[in-house]
Amino acid sequence: MNQYENCTFMIDYQLKKEVYPILKELNISPMMLINSLFLEIIKTRKVPFESRFETKPPIDSSKLSDKEIMELIQDGIDDVKNGRMYTIEELKKIIEDNLGL
């Protein structure tokens, strides 16, 4: 038997208001949708749709202190240790899509 755990997400009020009736029409619970999404991410190691996540503007390193630079480097090391990284192919695609290179 599966074990379940509560997980709390913040979602834009208007998005929730619009999507819940659609899910109901499709006979899909929010839990089923999230579980399916997570399973697909595990299976493919990718988000199964083109993301529209907000991105941060580039950082001007000339305006950072040595401490801020070291914190950014540590953040990058932590991302790698925790599996939050991209393959070379994914990085190339991100650069092509966002910079047109």
How many angstroms separate the CA atoms of 23 and 12, rounded?
Answer: 16
pLDDT for the residue 21: 93
CB of 24 within 8 A of CB of 34? no
Q: What is the pLDDT of residues 23-72, one digit of tens each?
A: 999 999 999 999 999 998 899 888 887 766 666 677 788 888 999 889 98
Helix axis angle, 13-25 relative to 30-44, nearest 10°? 90
This prediction's pTM: 0.47
Average pLDDT rounded to a whole number, residues 82-93: 77
Tokens matching residue 95: 């650069």
Which helix (H) or strand (E) segment holds residue 70: the answer is: helix 66-81
User: Which residues have CB under 8 Å from 69's CB, separation 6+?
Assistant: 61
Q: What percentage of residues in the chain have a pLDDT greater than 90?
A: 20
Average pLDDT rounded to a whole number, residues 84-99: 75
Listed residue (20, 43, 50) closest to 33, CA to CA: 20
